[in-house]
Amino acid sequence: MLTLFRLLSRWPLGLLHVLGAGLGWLTWLLSPTYRRRLHRNAAQAGVAPAQARAAVAEAGRMVMELPWLWMRPADRPLGDKLRWQGEACIEEAHRRGKGIVFLTPHLGCFEVTAQGYAERYGATHGPITVLYRPPRKAAIRPLVEAARRRPGLATAPATLAGVRQMIRALRQGQAVGLLPDQVPPEGMGVWAPFFGRPAYTMTLAARLAQQTGASIVLAWGERLRRGAGYVIHLEPFDEPLPDLAADQGQSAATAINRAMERLILRCPGQYLWGYHRYKQPRREAAPAGAAESS
């Protein structure tokens, strides 16, 4: 696997994206479960079928760009493959000095947002610590962990130790990043509406911000056509975050879900509609109209 990733990392990004589009459609054709979930989730959000179909190819491009992103030499920056939009909110957060919580949905290239921040700000403002869930397959775990350890970029596992690591980083004025539309482990979330349907949602994002006073910045990496690169879009979280103690975090989770919905609907063709967002954890009682168990 490592040899294959190293080989693919030398290929042009545009070629990888062409192959990725084919991989996305092949997966769609071979997996009825994936097709049903993609169309059901997109329809739940009111996304037109044509936009949902665009997401099929984009999911494949996301997979095929990973070798290029992960195995790129540390001394070869993203350079002209990366543009920024809205970075003034990062400068403002740095002036506050309380750290930054970056929230990124499964939209576009979410790997490039952390790498881009690490390259641009890591040397002056410390590394960005990214929450991740170790792969289930032990064979690829070393590859993923090694690929994400880059200059200015640290990783924290989705465990209590990882949460403590992120809190320490924020209290040092550094940045952390996480995907708040990722289904959290049992006991670490609440049920909150996501596109009008109850979804088990993490409370960690709100907890990190409220415990440390960190600024919340919304971010996503738009994938450009023909391998031209990416645009990192940034904006501040623009509504008061309800206190977690008020209702076990449900109002705060709902507010963050609303922010994620707004980002996703700006570019629905690049969202992972096939992601099992409405999954029900085994020992979590679901409200009426919530997730199926599979």
What does the pLDDT look like over 15-25, one tens digit per residue? 999 999 999 99
Q: pLDDT of 98-137, one tens digit each? A: 999 999 999 999 999 999 999 999 999 999 999 987 777 7
| 43-84 tens-digit pLDDT | 999 999 999 999 999 999 999 999 999 888 877 889 899 999
- Let me know the angle formed at the C-alpha of 75 by 73 and 79, rounded to the nearest 5 degrees: 95
**Quick check: is 125 in a domain?**
yes
**Which CATH number belongs to the domain containing residue 176 in this structure?**
3.40.1130
| Domain-embedded: residue 291 | no
pLDDT of residue 11: 94
Residue 290 domain flag: no
Please provide the DSSP assignment of the chain as one string. -HHHHHHHHTS-HHHHHHHHHHHHHHHHHH-HHHHHHHHHHHHHTT--HHHHHHHHHHHHHHHHTHHHHHSS-TTS--GGGEEEE-THHHHHHHHHTS-EEEE--SBB-HHHHHHHHHHHHHHHH-PEEEEE---SSGGGHHHHHHHT-BTTEEEEESSHHHHHHHHHHHHTT-EEEE-TTSPPPTTSEEEEEETTEEEEEESHHHHHHHHH-PEEEEEEEEEPGGG--EEEEEEE--S----TTTTTTHHHHHHHHHHHHHHHHHSGGGB-TTS-TT---TTSPPPTT-----
pTM: 0.93
Structure confidence by residue, pLDDT tens digits, 200-235: 999 999 999 999 999 999 999 999 999 999 999 999
155, pLDDT greater than 80: yes
Instruction: Give the range of the structural domain holding residue 74, as residue numbers without chain letter.
Output: 1-270
Q: Report the domain count for the chain.
A: 1
Residue 294 lies in a domain: no
Residue 281, domain member (yes or no): no
Q: Please report which confidence band the pLDDT of residue 293 belongs to, taking 50, 70 and 90 as the band edges.
A: very low
pLDDT class of 289 with cuts at 50, 70, 90: low
Whether residue 36 lies inside any domain: the answer is: yes
Does residue 146 fall inside a structural domain? Answer: yes
Residue 276 lies in a domain: no
